[in-house]
Amino acid sequence: MANKEIIWSLRAQNELKDILDFFTQRNGNPNYSLKILSEVEDLATTLSKSEFIGRLTSNRITRVIPMEDYLIFYEFNKNRIEIISFWDNRQSPKKDLFSSRITLFTYQSLYFLLLIMRKLETFT
């Protein structure tokens, strides 16, 4: 069976970005955020190969995968998997899920740093 394409909803992208930005600002460096991003990428790779690894939720369509302090909610069809939410279990349920902040380190820049770090590892 071929790997399915992973698609991130805008909501899930924003949730992940907010989590990565929070830890980058709090810690004063992107190291922990890069660790989270790396774990998410590894899980997404596994998910693309086996879409049934998540537990079915009560709506019988959405599945969820626990990842330390986070829950990854996703749905799939025969061609692709869509990650619909990246939920931090430590946040308030009343939090506005669509709020965004402008920060120094965005999701894209953290991803770029992760790629560079991986390239450097191959040369050592």
Residue 102: per-residue pLDDT: 34
Q: Give yes or no for residue 98 having a pLDDT over 60.
A: no
Q: Which pLDDT tens digit goes with each residue over 33-82?
A: 999 999 999 999 999 999 999 999 888 899 999 998 899 999 999 999 99
Q: Where are the beta strands (DSSP E) in the chain?
A: 5-8, 55-56, 63-67, 70-76, 80-88
**pLDDT over 90 for what percent of the chain?**
62
pTM of the full predicted structure?
0.72
Query: Average pLDDT for residues 16-42, to the nearest whole number?
Result: 94
Q: In the chain, what is the greatest distance between 2 CA atoms, to the nearest angstrom? A: 48
Residue 90 confidence (pLDDT): 81
